[in-house]
Amino acid sequence: MENTHSKIRIAIKYTIHITLTVVIITMGYFTSTYLMKSKPKVRKRKVEREAFVKTVTMIAKDHATHITAMGNATPSQRIDIFPQIGGRILKISSSLVPGGFLKQGTTIARIDPITEQRNVAEAKAQLAIAKARLRRAQRDYTVEEQRLAVEQKKANATLKSAQKQYENALQQSQRQEQLLQRKLTSEEVYELAKTTTIQKSAELETARLRLNELKTERKALTLKTQDIELAKQQVNLQAILLEKAQQNLEYTNINIPFDAFVISKSVGPGSTVTTNTNIATIVAVDYYWIEATIPVSQLSSIHIPINSKEQGSSVKISHRSWANVFRTGKVARLLPQIEPEGKMARILIKVEDPLLRLQKKADKPVLLLGSFVRLQIEGRILKNVIQIPREHIHDGKFVWIFANNSLQKRAVNIVWREKDDVFIDSGISTGEKMIVSQIPGAVTGMTVKEIQQ
């Protein structure tokens, strides 16, 4: 019984202790909350931040422009050698091998000349015959012309004499007739005078007939000039045939038309060739072309010559295998067509002595056919322009200017663009300062402070 009462007293004490603890904690929480809400508020001051910027002072000056392009080296001339006549190859030059060098005029192959030599001899003989016939025709004409001249002179004199004799005989006959009528002469004398007149009339007619005959002979002589012309034409024809035969004889030696390198050869000694047989393929080595494409918009910056006397823009040529050395060339021509897209034009650049054959000391690299090279083409000079890195151009045409400790957004006129920079001719003046710092949330009029460098 006592144990039961004792346990009840202990439980009541423990419950009262816990209840008091909870009441005290609750009262403490509400008191602290009240105090926090009722304390006086402290107002925060708004602090303005100043942006610090880096600037670059702008300076206008002249700038030499350059156009960068890529291009392939191609030969200025590439030809296939074909013989002008057919025949059997007797000899081939030892230099006629792929990669071999041949000087202009070198005989690379010789065709058996026996047939052409025979043709030349025959043509010479035919020409000699034709010339002999011409000389004979000219001689016959001259002889006949001289004879006719003598005969003409003689006939003219005979006609003149016969005319005078006839007139005298006619006068004598008429006088005798008058005398006979007056019975002052005899019938026999009159008849004799009349007969003489008839005789002289016949002689006059004969002289006239002879002149007509000479006219006919003169016409016949004129026809002989046609024989001479035909003989001359025959001589000219035989001369042409002889020239052709001699030319064919020369064609038995196949010569190189210019200094060249051999790309390939297709024949050897003993080969039988025709005019359709490719003997070899060669390329000229005095200069190469480099064909490059550039934007049409940049053509106006390049000097393209309009004739062979002008010099085009200079070009610096480099290749990835040449280390820090380069070759030079000149812009030579603008090709007449553009790329299908219509934005790229094609130009030819001339590179003299690409294989350095004329150089005593080869301190430059050789330019091989097919090389894909980088080109730096000299352009026009831009006067009084300001160079600005591309990264400082905003929205395509604006820059930030530092003026009176504030930002100014300025539009500029871009006249030339390069890989990393642009060049402007208006919008900024020499001495003004361009901001090169990145400014988050930049707006016109914003207060900034320049970092002194």
**Residue 301 token pair:** 């910056």
Is residue 336 assigned to a domain?
Answer: yes
* DSSP code at position 294: E
Q: Is the pLDDT of residue 102 over 90?
A: yes
- Which CATH number characterizes residue 422's domain? 2.40.420.20
Domain identity same for 324 and 398: no
pLDDT at site 223 = 83
What span, in angstroms and rounded, lies between the C-alpha atoms of 422 and 426?
A: 12
Domain identity same for 105 and 186: no
Is residue 446 assigned to a domain?
Answer: yes
- pLDDT above 70: percentage of residues in the chain: 89
Q: Is the pLDDT of residue 311 over 50?
A: yes
Domain identity same for 212 and 327: no
Closest alpha carbon to 232 in 373, 365, 130, 90:
130
What is the H or E stretch that residue 274 is in?
Answer: none
- Which CATH number characterizes residue 323's domain? 2.40.30
**Residue 319 token pair:** 């290749």
Is residue 40 assigned to a domain?
Answer: no
Beta bridge partner(s), residue 261 = 101, 283
Domain identity same for 209 and 292: no
What span, in angstroms and rounded, lies between the C-alpha atoms of 418 and 440?
A: 27
What is the H or E stretch that residue 389 is in?
Answer: strand 372-389
pLDDT at site 274 = 93
Q: Is the pLDDT of residue 238 over 60?
A: yes
Domain endpoint, select from 380, 395, 412: 380
Domain identity same for 204 and 169: yes
- Provide the pLDDT confidence category of residue 323 given band limits of 50, 70 and 90: confident
Domain endpoint, select from 280, 300, 333: 280
Region 87-97 average pLDDT: 93
Instruction: Decide if 443 contacts 407 (C-beta within 8 A).
Output: yes
Domain endpoint, select from 226, 260, 280: 280
Q: Is the pLDDT of residue 106 over 70?
A: yes
pLDDT at site 222 = 84
pLDDT at site 3 = 52
**In terms of residue numbers, what domain contains 150?**
115-240
Domain identity same for 99 and 163: no
Is residue 7 assigned to a domain?
Answer: no
Domain identity same for 306 and 370: yes
Domain identity same for 289 and 401: no
Q: Is the pLDDT of residue 255 over 70?
A: yes
Is residue 22 assigned to a domain?
Answer: no
Residue 194, φ and ψ in degrees, nearest 5: -65, -40
Beta bridge partner(s), residue 170 = none
What span, in angstroms and rounded, lies between the C-alpha atoms of 55 and 434?
A: 5
pLDDT at site 273 = 93
Is residue 38 assigned to a domain?
Answer: no
Q: What does the H/E/C string look like for 397-422?
A: CEEEEEECCEEEEEECEEEEECCCEE
**Residue 216 token pair:** 């006919």
Region 102-125 average pLDDT: 95
Does pTM top 0.85 for this prediction?
Answer: no
Q: Which amino acid is at 452?
A: Q
Average pLDDT, the chain: 87
pLDDT at site 19 = 64
Region 90-100 average pLDDT: 92
The string of DSSP letters for 124-167 reads HHHHHHHHHHHHHHHHHHHHHHHHHHHHHHHHHHHHHHHHHHHH
Burial degree of 408 (CB within 10 A; 0-12, 13-18, 19+)? middle
Domain identity same for 391 and 373: no
Is residue 408 assigned to a domain?
Answer: yes
Is residue 75 assigned to a domain?
Answer: no
Region 248-275 average pLDDT: 93
Under 8 Å CB-to-CB from 231, ≥6 apart: which residues? 130, 133, 134, 137, 138
438 vs 69, higher pLDDT: 69
- pLDDT above 90: percentage of residues in the chain: 55
pLDDT at site 25 = 65
Domain identity same for 275 and 288: no
Domain identity same for 99 and 195: no
Number of domains in the chain: 4
Q: Which amino acid is at 103?
A: K
Condensed to tens digits (0 to 9), the pLDDT of residues 123-174 reads 999 999 999 999 999 999 999 999 999 999 999 999 999 999 989 989 988 8
Handedness of CA 225, 231, 236, 239 (dihedral sign): negative
Domain identity same for 286 and 267: no
